[in-house]
Amino acid sequence: MEMNELETAVERLAATASLLEAAVERLAHCQSGFAVEAEASIGRLVATVEGRREAELEEKLAAAERKIAELQAAAAYVPAAVTNGRKTLPAATANLLAKQGVAVDSIEAGALDAALGSLSMEQRFAVKAQLLRAGLVG
């Protein structure tokens, strides 16, 4: 009888092992299916995030291009904005330049620097700033 019980136990173990092998195969098949599905889902998520980021960057680029265009358009009008339409010098500046022999109608950089050489640094800056505001030097 002991042999019969041993054979029965071996048969039951063999049957259990077969069932375990079948369960492992099913689990492996399910796992590979889940992996494929997860990979596809991750791919869709990445594409969505990249698409949103790309759209966001395109919006920022368009805004930057608009701003550049606005600044370039504004830069074309800077002399008028700086001079406020003024085309004359204050009388004191015109007198100072006339005493130094500089004609206001045609100011050359070298002549201007030579004429202002005897003035202090602050006075030179003030005269040049007035000339700039009047639109006579660039």
Q: Give CA–CA dist 13/38, Å, rounded.
A: 36
Going by pLDDT thresholds of 50, 70 and 90, the confidence category of residue 1 is low
pLDDT tens-digit series, residues 27-65: 988 888 888 888 888 888 888 888 888 888 889 999 989
Q: Which of 4-8, 13-17, 71-75, 106-110 shows the lowest per-residue confidence on average (mean pLDDT)?
A: 106-110
Q: What is the DSSP letter of 15?
A: H
pTM above the 0.85 mark? no
Domain ranges of the chain: 1-76, 79-134
Checking 76-81 for CB contacts under 8 A at 24+ apart, the result is: 79/135
Helices (H), the chain: 2-76, 78-83, 91-99, 109-115, 121-134
